[in-house]
């Protein structure tokens, strides 16, 4: 073998070894690590999920889906969905940069939900409850006619069944694409809650971040007991709108759970990690009193 042939064979062997190495190189999967947006702590995504999506270093509460909350709160295999087939139409033919009907299709495909709330009957430590869980992923958890109808039917079911009611709120407010139809849901849900209360049945409102607009102005603040997650944004109007209206600077912690608790607007601040046990305790107190 000549020198040139020997060099070519060596080069081909080196190329083959490099290609084989590349094929066998371990690929780091996506979403293996996540960084806390509040304190910068780097952690395994699985560890975050095991900790109820709460940062173990600073207690920052990451956004949680309605499906996450079902898993965190209720006894295994106890969730029985109600009215899961209800979905919004486009009664006003609304469009901005995109047709409202198309936005709904996109949201359904992206989230796997029919609308911005899941409702159902479940149990917490074997105590039956009716529960509505809003999901911010679906158009910012906005309250349209279907959200209002599902929550109203849920409340009526709780009243007829004589069981406690829990609603976990996460919303940007009323859904502008449905105009006055979305605002009407405030009165409809509030009326159903009044009938529930007249039966001597408890309603616990759990406010997560964010809870704003027409949701805050209605059923979110009508609970017999109002619970909030730590540092949750809870408001009606936006901070900038208020400052421009009153011509004053607002405190840094304005519209947080802690500020509202200090001023008597909410009753408890409970970490997501402890929420199941706290609700179980409260439900047990109710059960023993009836």
Q: Is 131 annotated as a binding residue?
A: no
Residue in 146, 149, 122, 119 with CA at minimum distance from that of residue 134 = 119
With beta carbons less than 8 A apart as the criterion, state whether 118 and 132 touch: yes
Angle at 8 between CA 5 and CA 12, to 5 degrees: 140
Q: Is 169 annotated as a binding residue?
A: no
Q: Is 58 annotated as a binding residue?
A: yes
Q: Is 39 annotated as a binding residue?
A: yes
Residue in 217, 224, 228 with CA at minimum distance from that of residue 189 = 217
Torsional class of 54: left (φ above 0), alpha (ψ -120 to 50), beta (otherwise): beta
With beta carbons less than 8 A apart as the criterion, state whether 282 and 274 touch: no
Quickly tell me which residue has 């079911």 as its tokens: 157
The H-or-E segment that residue 122 falls in is strand 117-124
Which residues are annotated binding-site positions for Zn(2+)?
Answer: 36, 39, 55, 58
Which residues are annotated binding-site positions?
Answer: 36, 39, 55, 58
């Amino acid at each position: 073998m000549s020198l040139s042939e020997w060099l070519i064979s060596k080069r081909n062997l080196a190329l083959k070894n490099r290609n084989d190495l590349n094929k066998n190189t371990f690929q780091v999967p996506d979403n293996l690590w996540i960084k806390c947006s509040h304190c910068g702590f780097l952690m395994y995504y699985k560890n975050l999920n095991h900790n109820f999506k709460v940062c173990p270093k600073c207690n920052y509460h990451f956004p949680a889906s309605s499906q996450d909350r079902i898993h965190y709160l209720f006894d295994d295999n106890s969730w029985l969905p109600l009215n899961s087939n209800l979905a919004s139409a486009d009664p006003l033919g609304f469009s901005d940069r995109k047709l409202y009907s198309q936005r709904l299709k996109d949201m359904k495909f992206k989230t796997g939900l029919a609308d911005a709330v899941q409702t159902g009957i479940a149990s917490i430590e074997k105590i039956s409850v009716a529960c509505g869980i809003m999901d911010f992923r679906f158009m910012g958890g906005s309250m349209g006619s279907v959200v209002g109808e599902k929550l109203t039917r849920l409340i009526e079911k709780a009243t007829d069944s004589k069981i406690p009611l829990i609603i976990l709120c996460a919303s940007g407010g009323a859904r502008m694409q449905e105009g006055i139809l979305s605002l009407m849901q405030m009165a409809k849900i509030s009326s159903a809650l009044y009938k529930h209360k007249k039966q001597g049945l408890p309603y616990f409102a759990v406010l997560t971040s964010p809870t704003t607009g027409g949701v805050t102005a209605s059923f979110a603040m009508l609970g017999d007991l109002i619970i909030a997650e730590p540092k949750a944004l809870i408001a009606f109007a936006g901070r900038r709108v208020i400052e421009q209206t009153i011509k004053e600077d607002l405190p840094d912690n304005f519209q947080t759970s802690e500020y509202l608790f200090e001023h008597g607007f909410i009753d408890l601040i409970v970490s997501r990690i402890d929420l199941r046990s706290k609700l179980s305790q409260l439900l047990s107190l109710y059960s023993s009193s009836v």
